[in-house]
Amino acid sequence: MSLQDLLAIFAGSIVGFSLGLIGGGGSVLAVPLLLYVVGVRDPHVAIGTSALAVALNAFANLAQHARAGNVKWPCAVSFAGAGVVGALIGSTLGKMVNGQHLLALFAIVMIAVGASMLRGRSGEGDPAVRMHRGMAPRILAIGLGAGLLSGFFGIGGGFLIVPGLVMASGMPILNAVGSSLFSVGAFGVTTAANYALSGLVDWRIAILFIVGGVAGGMVGMKLAMRLAGRRGALVKVFAFVLFAVAAYMLYRSVGPLVGLG
């Protein structure tokens, strides 16, 4: 096993841990990890590979959350159905954009995500919430928008889906984390299939990434259950990590153009 293989497993474990813990951060972390740690050279291949790996890791974590009773299936399936349509459109548009430009845009999205995370997440909400006619339009509209952005940037979308589910349904954050993983997986499979048709998936790296992700996800999910009502501090730390990674990505993608790298 080469050093790159070991790095792929290690990077996957980080992504799986994030998905299991907060339902997001998968591709937001996976793309820069694949580019700058594992050594994937083409940004489009990194996006396609991460989409596949994150999708399968999300489904593995979904199974664990489902067994714990954290998934609101009607809301999760409705959100994902609308999001898949958006992800297909978004991933088609994303392949048309220059890879370096896409990285810069991706970094800006990461900064916006980090800023939104700093508002914190509470554990309040209605644990008995059920899908109803008045909720459906909100679920579908937010799902479509989240899927569009997810597909365009090749991100799983958990950081968009979790607050979207909370806003649309009023469910507790732990239920939103568990339910979001169905959409993360569905969006990722849609994006990965679109990229794979263009030969933009490194299958070996993806498999190793998934192996690491399953192990990391088990740890993350267990910690999520413990921290369900006390996640504010962790989210703030993670937001600052996003800022740091986004700044590095901007440096790598924009720096050479302005004489900084």
DSSP string, 211-249: HHHHHHHHHHHHHHHHTTT--HHHHHHHHHHHHHHHHHH
Amino acid at 131: M
pLDDT at 230: 62
Look at residue 208 and tell me whether its pLDDT is greater than 70.
yes
| Residue pair 28/159 in contact by the 8 Å Cβ criterion | yes
Reported as a pLDDT band with limits 50, 70 and 90, residue 66 is very high
User: Of 30, 3, 31, 37, nearest to 14 (Cα)?
Assistant: 30
Supply the DSSP symbol for 97. S
Distance, CA of 136 to chain centre: 23
* 117 or 131, higher pLDDT: 131
Q: Give the pair of three-digit tokens for residue 229.
A: 């009502």
pLDDT at 123: 47
* 26 or 53, higher pLDDT: 53
* 112 or 139, higher pLDDT: 139
Report percent pLDDT > 70 for the chain. Answer: 87
Count Cβ atoms within 10 A of the Cβ of residue 98 and give its class: 0-12 exposed, 13-18 middle, 19 or more buried.
Answer: exposed
Count of beta carbons in the 10 Å neighbourhood of residue 175: 26
Look at residue 164 and tell me whether its pLDDT is greater than 70.
yes
User: Of 193, 234, 246, 190, nearest to 23 (Cα)?
Assistant: 234
Distance, CA of 111 to chain centre: 15
* 108 or 66, higher pLDDT: 66
Count Cβ atoms within 10 A of the Cβ of residue 29 and give its class: 0-12 exposed, 13-18 middle, 19 or more buried.
Answer: buried
The total number of structural domains in the chain stands at 1
Q: Which domain holds residue 15?
A: 3-258
Give me the helix-helix angle, 26-33 and 232-254, nearest 10°.
40
Amino acid at 137: P
